[in-house]
Each structure stands twice: as C-alpha cells, then as structure tokens.
C-alpha cells in the first residue's frame, strides 16, 4: 500500500485534509494511522491568511495531531524569505494573520515612508486605494513579493477567489512580475524538506495539479492527486500529471496500489508557449552570422518572437533587421523546432517560455552590420569549424540541418 512506500508525507490542506471547518472523508483516521506507523507528516498550504498557530488549532479541533513546526504556510514562508533577504520593511496587502507572521520574524509593516517590498497576500476587505498605494510603492523601487498566485480555492459554498486575483490586479497596475513564494515555487518544499531526515522517500499529496503536483515535480518529488478522476494532460512529460490519483487519504492504505515514479526532466516547466523565428545567414565564404545576446551573454543565430498579425517569414526578416541592420530574403525553411529540452528558455524575471521556432535560411540583400545593444552586444561571421564555445546549445544542430541540403524541412 502507498502508506508503506514513503517515509514522509507532504500534504496540502484545503481539499485534501479539510474543507472549511470540516475534515474530509477518511482524513483524520488516515493521518492518525500515518503517525502510528512512524511516518513524518508536514502540511503545506498556500492559504496566506491564518497564522501557523491558527492552523494547528483548526487541525487539533478536527482531531488531527499537528505541531507548530509541522505547518509550512505561504504566509510564514514569505516572512522567512523576507527575513533571510534582509527586507525588513514592507507594505502589505493581506490579512491580520499574515501581518502577525511578518512581525514575528522582525518585518515592519508600514503604511507610508520607505518600504523595501510590497507583499501581496489575500484579504477580502482590500480596497482599490490600497492596491493603488501598492503600485506606487512598486513604482518607487520596492520589490514585488506575492505569497502565492492561486486564482481560486475550494470552500463548502463552492469555489472562492484566492490571492492570485489580487496579485493579478497589482501586476496589471504596475506592469511588473512578482516573485511568488508559495506552491508551485520551490521555497515551501525546501522549507519542509529541511525539517526531515535526509534519507527517506517523500511524496506530495494535493488537489491542485498546477500548484501541488507541478511544484513537487519541479523539486524532484513524486506527487499524488486527490480527485475523483485524473485530469487529462496530453504530454507524458507534463509536470502537472500526477503519478497517482486517489479519491481521498484513506486510499493510502488500500492494498495493491503503487505510484508511477516521476522521472525528472531536463527542462524547466514553461508557463506559456510562443512562436519564434531564427535566421541562418552565410557570407560569401560560408561563414555564419552570430550575435552575442545581451540577456545571457551567449552567441546565437539572429532570432526572436512572432508579433501579432505577422507571418513567420515577415517576422524573421524584421528580427534580422532589428538585431543586425541587414536586409535579407527568405530562401527556404530549414526546420521547425519544439523539443522542450532545447526550446524552453528561463528569463531573469522568472518567466519560462517554450518556443516553437521556425528556422530559415536567409540571403543577404543590403545593409551594414550594426548592433541593437538592447538585444545584441556584438556581431560577427564565424567559420563553421571555429564556432564560439559559448554558443546556444541547439544552434549547432540547426546549422547541421541547414548544411545537409535535405529536400524537406526538419521537424525536431
């Protein structure tokens, strides 16, 4: 049975252990049996409103054994991050419980003056004026920290709006991307694992594929989903795909169940998929044009995004001109590249995107080389046998495809 396969159990709360003030079917007995078996139990909740003390009191009132140190909440994890980052003054959009967690770790919550960070959690009474004030602090240089980004959570009355809706409002007003502390981010998982013995197999159990399952897989943990039916994800490499789906915690003790082990992937999980283009341009000596990119310092082919209303052919001509100053003409499609191992890019902002890139062989028409230093630090033509060492990993394959003179475009 599943309960015997792991030494540590990381559990979400809402939708797994309880719903509102009522425990879910089988939860109390299952947790008691895990404790009796000597298993380690930690509770990881993205609800940033209550203090850990209040969560312990709620669990104990339901008959669930829980200690203060068993609780890893998004609010407490955010306070821990601020303390470790020496961010000691914040403007808060959040509950009184979150304020208590911050203040207990030495974080001052201010309404005016100089604040180092804006912390966005959740409270039903947040006003438009408070959101406006948060945006003004961000415009003044404060860091944007979100406890979590869940858009909704389950309640006995149905789905309720969660912190992510408030985070989205501040994000829209500031045009800034927050650092999100809660699941699926790694911070809460790391805090939980730090309290466990280094040896021993751990599993995450949750009801949200986009936070509990995805976050566990990004940390290399196996993950079990609480649901009546498993959701469908088309790719076998989808991080949101649970390793096992069970209806409730009592199934941990059902004979004959085993988890399909999660195989860690060699790419970060992308938040979105985008259309991209790249150009291979040879000079008269069959040297290839490469640029050293400003965002990562690596050499690569001229490349970029497809903008709304563009064809891929129009996009590659535009990108080449913007990055290099050269006018080119598309000769043929070399290949269409989408493998996430090479086509997922993570940016300094924290955003990860998977590109579906159309790579073209292009012919020089006119213009002189010049750098757009916002994107490219330097440009040069390189002999194919003397390519720079710091070259984007997928571009040698694209060059080989271009030189193969295959009759059809490659799909990789």
Active site (catalytic) residues: 378
Burial 235-256 (b: 16+ CB within 10 A, else e): eeebbbbbbbbbeebebbbeee
- Residue identified by tokens 């790579």 is 359
Q: Is 216 in a helix, a strand, or coil?
A: helix
For residue 130, the tally of other CB atoms under 10 A from its CB is 17
By DSSP bridging, strand 89-93 and strand 117-120 are parallel
Residues 100, 101, 105, 107: what is their CA dihedral angle, to the nearest 10 degrees?
-60
Distance separating alpha carbons of residues 53 and 57, to the nearest angstrom: 6
Q: Is 191 in a helix, a strand, or coil?
A: helix
- Is the distance from CB of 302 to CB of 276 less than 8 angstroms? no
- Is the distance from CB of 52 to CB of 76 less than 8 angstroms? yes
**Tally of helices (H runs) and strands (E runs) in the chain:** 11, 24
Distance separating alpha carbons of residues 150 and 153, to the nearest angstrom: 7
| Nearest alpha carbon to residue 78 among 100, 55, 53, 111 | 100
CA distances from 131 to 102, 179, 283 (A): 19, 17, 55
- Is the distance from CB of 219 to CB of 200 less than 8 angstroms? no
- Is the distance from CB of 81 to CB of 178 less than 8 angstroms? no
For residue 129, the tally of other CB atoms under 10 A from its CB is 8
């Amino acid at each position: 049975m599943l309960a015997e396969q792991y030494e540590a159990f990381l559990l979400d709360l809402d939708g797994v252990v309880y719903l509102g003030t009522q425990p879910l079917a089988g939860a109390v007995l299952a947790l008691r049996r895990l404790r009796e078996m000597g298993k380690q139990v930690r509770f990881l909740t993205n609800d940033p409103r209550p203090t850990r003390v209040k969560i312990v009191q709620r669990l104990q009132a339901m008959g669930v054994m829980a200690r203060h140190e068993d609780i890893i909440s998004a609010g407490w994890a955010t306070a821990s991050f601020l303390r470790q980052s020496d961010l000691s003054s914040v403007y808060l959009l959040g509950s009184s419980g979150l304020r208590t967690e911050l203040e207990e770790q030495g974080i001052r919550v201010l309404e005016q003056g100089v604040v180092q960070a804006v912390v966005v959690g959740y409270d039903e009474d947040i006003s438009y004026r408070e959101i406006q004030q948060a945006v003004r602090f961000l415009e003044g240089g404060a860091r944007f920290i979100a406890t979590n980004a869940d858009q909704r959570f389950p309640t006995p009355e149905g789905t309720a709006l969660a912190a992510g809706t408030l985070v989205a409002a501040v994000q829209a007003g500031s045009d800034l991307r927050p650092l999100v502390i809660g699941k699926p981010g790694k911070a809460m998982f790391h805090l939980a694992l730090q309290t466990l013995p280094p040896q021993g197999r751990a599993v995450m159990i949750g009801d949200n594929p986009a936070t509990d399952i995805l976050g566990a897989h990004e940390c290399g943990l196996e993950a079990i989903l609480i649901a009546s039916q498993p959701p469908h994800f088309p790719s076998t490499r989808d991080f949101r795909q649970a390793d096992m789906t069970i209806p409730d915690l009592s199934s941990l003790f059902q004979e004959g169940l085993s988890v399909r082990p999660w195989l860690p992937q060699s790419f970060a999980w992308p938040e979105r998929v985008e259309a991209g283009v790249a150009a291979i341009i040879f000079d008269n000596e069959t040297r290839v044009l490469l640029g050293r990119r400003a965002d990562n310092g690596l050499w690569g082919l001229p490349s970029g995004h497809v903008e709304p209303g563009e064809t891929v052919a129009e996009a590659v001509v535009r990108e080449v001109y913007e990055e290099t100053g050269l006018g080119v003409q598309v000769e043929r499609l070399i290949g269409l590249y989408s493998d996430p191992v090479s086509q997922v890019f993570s940016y300094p902002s924290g955003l990860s995107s998977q590109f579906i890139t159309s790579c073209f062989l292009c012919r020089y028409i006119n213009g002189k080389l010049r750098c757009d230093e916002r994107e490219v630090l330097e440009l040069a033509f390189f002999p194919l046998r003397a390519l720079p060492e710091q070259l984007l990993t997928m571009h040698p394959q694209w060059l080989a495809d271009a030189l193969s003179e295959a009759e059809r475009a490659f799909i990789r």
